[in-house]
Copies of this chain bind each other. A is one copy, B any other.
Amino acid sequence: MMGTLTIAGLGPGDAALITPEVSAALTEATDVVGYAPYVARVPSREGLRLHASDNRMELSRAGEALKLAAEGRRVVLVSSGDPGVFAMAAAVFEALEAAPEWQDISIRVLPGVTAMLAAAARAGAPLGHDFCAINLSDNLKPWPVIEKRLRLAVEADFAIAIYNPRSKSRPDGFARALDILKGAGCGERTIIFAHAVTTPKERIETLSLNQARAEMADMATLVIVGNSTTRRVGRWVYAPRRAS
């Protein structure tokens, strides 16, 4: 008998941001699959099998989860944040498309609080007007595509949420992104660095883009660049609802 695959988002870090729907799915699971730091966030219990894997293994991890479900297990594949935003859901559907024998598996996607929403909440409301979300990882995307999207996002006057700004294997892209934004006239805009948001290591920095340095970001940082109308009131940053 076919089992089930639930692709679930654990939110940005704090257990108080895991939806009851996801908690219930974890309670009913026989197997939890995911990147090791996310699997470590799932409370262990007798009979629950944990399958932790390394970073950058998205497609094989998705295949492992589908295979377990095909064997009749109740599998939860965990992502941080929301599984549909730069996370595991797309990888599962890619794996599914390549393997018709798995297409009868019962699949559910359970949304979660993605990092930009938690970061925005800490800062105020910088995503209160139209915005975009760009993944700066160029493992799967040529750099010219990223550069073009940044320029068009500025032209559209979107606030910009930047995921995965910088990693040890990609130390330079975010510096180039900052240069592009400065060159596009965004130097006076507000930029927010939200590091490890909702965890004990949380650190939120708000400054003008001209003052920003690439070293302020790492893989645990979500960056938000305000639009041209973004304002500050006290310690808060917000995008007015009215367009300029």
Number of A residues contacting the other chain (C-beta, 8 Å)?
72
> A17 to chain B: which residues have CB within 8 Å?
19-21, 111
> A120 to chain B: which residues have CB within 8 Å?
84, 109, 111
Q: Are B89 and A140 in contact (CB under 8 A)?
A: no
> A158 to chain B: which residues have CB within 8 Å?
132, 149
Say whether A125 faces chain B, with CB atoms less than 8 Å apart: yes
Q: Are A233 and B127 in contact (CB under 8 A)?
A: no
C-alpha spacing A141/B114, complex, angstroms:
27
Q: Which residue of B lies closest to A158 (CB)?
A: B132
C-alpha spacing A140/B131, complex, angstroms:
15
Q: Are A89 and B243 in contact (CB under 8 A)?
A: no
C-alpha spacing A24/B17, complex, angstroms:
11
Binds B, one of A66-74, A92-100, A171-179, A213-221: A92-100
Q: Are B16 and A19 in contact (CB under 8 A)?
A: yes
Count of chain copies: 2
Say whether A153 faces chain B, with CB atoms less than 8 Å apart: yes
Interface string of A122-157 (1 = CB under 8 A from B): 101111111111110000111001001100110111
C-alpha spacing A121/B90, complex, angstroms:
10
Q: Are A16 and B11 in contact (CB under 8 A)?
A: no
Q: Which residue of B lies closest to A92 (CB)?
A: B125
Q: Are A96 and B234 in contact (CB under 8 A)?
A: yes
Query: Contacting A20 at CB < 8 Å: which of B18, B96, B131?
Result: B18
Taking the nearest CB of chain B, how far is it from the CB of A92, in angstroms? 8
Contacts beyond the supplied A90-B240, A94-B240, A111-B121: 9 A-B pairs with Cβ under 8 Å: A17-B19, A58-B241, A86-B128, A90-B129, A96-B236, A109-B120, A112-B113, A130-B133, A141-B242
